[in-house]
Structure 1
Amino acid sequence: MSKTLILWALLIALVIVPFLLPNGGRYEGSDGQAEVAISQLAPDYQPWFSPLFEPASGEVESLLFTLQGCLGTAVIFYILGFFRGKKAAQAEQDKRHADHR
């Protein structure tokens, strides 16, 4: 079996398996669960501050969260690519210097 087929099978399994779990594929964020736990443990708790910006809906909030993750990922991989390219350029330069000797 080729690596490609194995990777495709794993990808399909990662997509399908959560829907077969007891919660039916529902994903709940930890923020909501923390809010419930705090309200049970300390019903009179008051937050220290309120958000500066409240998104219009859950969809907008999800979009902003996703964009934040994408931008962070882009920055990380840009830095990794930059240093990899820098290392490759240095290796090429060292090779050229070794050839001229």
Structure 2
Amino acid sequence: MSTTNNKGGGFAVTIALIILAAAIAVFPMFYNFGDPDAEEQFGGSDGAAEEIVAEQNPDYEPWASPLIGELPGEVESGLFAFQAALGAGVLGFAIGNYRGRTRAEERGSRESGAAGTTAAAGPNPGTDA
């Protein structure tokens, strides 16, 4: 006998999460909150930090330098994509490993529970024990 363990509206929750993810992705395309006069409308936090440091301490000199100099935009975006793919792979592995372990524990407890009920029933009637 097959039992399903549906914990209430799984399909509806999945659809709602997909719609929410799509809305989060589409929202910035229609509402431009960046600075239209800036060279880059959405500057990074590094650029903002450099501006604040330059305002507060104009004589500041960085004590560390980048290991690699300026890279072309294609290389930077490629490294970023590689970093994202690597992170997604690690996260997927961890989630899959956790889910597999949980399923194995459930299967083991189900099998030991079935074995426990037959053992608890005692010897078969009609046999000499």
Task: Please tell me the residue identity of whatever aligns with 1:45.
Answer: Y
Q: How does 1:26-41 map to 2 (within 5 A)?
A: 26-41=41-56
Instruction: Give the alignment's Cα RMSD to 1 decimal.
Output: 2.9
Q: In percent, how many aligned pairs have the same letter?
A: 32
Query: What is the CA deviation profile of residues 31-55 of structure 1, one whole-angstrom value per residue up to 9, with x for unaligned ones?
Result: 1111122122212211111111235
The answer as to 2:30 corresponding to 1:15 is no
In 2: Cα distance, 1:66 partner to 1:80 partner: 21
Indicate the residue corresponding to 2:108 in structure 1.
93
Please identify, of 74-83 and 85-94, the stretch whose mean Cα deviation from structure 2 is larger. 74-83
How far does residue 17 in structure 1 lie from its aligned partner after superposition?
A: 4.2
Which residue is equivalent to 1:83? 98
SS of 1:87 mapped into structure 2: helix
State how far apart, in whole Å, the 2-side matches of 1:72 and 1:9 are: 22
Q: Is the 8 A contact 1:55 1:61 kept in 2?
A: no
In the TM superposition, what whole-angstrom CA distance separates every residue of 1:73-95 from its partner, at most 9, and x where no partner exists? Answer: 32123112202211110110111
Q: More displaced, 83-92 or 12-21?
A: 12-21
Partners in 2 of 1:79 and 1:27 — Cα distance? 33
Give the secondary-structure state (helix, strand or coil) at the position aligned to 1:92.
helix
CA distance in 1 between counterparts of 2:94 and 2:49 reads 34
Aligned partners of 1:39 and 1:45 also within 8 Å: yes
Higher helix share: 1
Using CA pairs below 8 Å that are at least 6 residues apart, which structure has the higher relative contact order?
A: 1
Q: How does 1:50-89 map to 2 (within 5 A)?
A: 50-89=65-104
Secondary structure at the aligned position of 1:49 is classed as: coil
| Structure (1 or 2) with the larger CA radius of gyration | 2
> Which runs of 4 or more aligned residues in structure 1 lie more than 6 Å from their structure 2 counterparts after TM superposition?
none
